[in-house]
Amino acid sequence: DQQVKQNSPSLSVQEGRISILNCDYTNSMFDYFLWYKKYPAEGPTFLISISSIKDKNEDGRFTVFLNKSAKHLSLHIVPSQPGDSAVYFCAARASYGQNFVFGPGTRLSVLP
């Protein structure tokens, strides 16, 4: 039973356009969410986080939106660059100090 779902295994976007990666969760107790990016043969690297008290957090080209009523969050990358091609993981935590639950990941390909 996956508590964090990323229903699109892959996504292709043209360079310069917007990339939108989606994540859905089932546990209403999740209160902190993160996005990680992973290149082949490397460990995941932290991108951006959002707390449940917010509905948007922005960092440069990356923006995360949280819709608590729909139990849905999304990561927007604008503009997309070829170097953004990687696997993106969404992660959520139930309460302060608990472990993060990760989604299965979405492979983003940004085409030049």
Partner 1 sequence: KAGVTQTPRYLIKTRGQQVTLSCSPISGHRSVSWYQQTPGQGLQFLFEYFSETQRNKGNFPGRFSGRQFSNSRSEMNVSTLELGDSALYLCASSPSGMNTEAFFGQGTRLTVV
Q: How far is the CB of 73 from partner 1 (least distance, A)?
A: 15
Is 62 a binding residue for partner 1 by CB under 8 A? The answer is: no
Residues 93-112: x where in contact with partner 1 by CB under 8 A, - otherwise, as a string: ---xxxxxxxxxx-------
> Is 46 one of the binding residues for partner 1 (CB under 8 A)?
yes
The DSSP call for residue 28 is T
Decide: 25 and 94 in contact? Cβ < 8 Å: no
Site for partner 1 in 26-45 (CB under 8 A): 32, 34, 36, 41-45
Type of residue at 41: A
Dihedral sign from CA coordinates of 66, 19, 89, 84: negative
Measured from the CB atom, is 19 or 106 closer to partner 1? 106
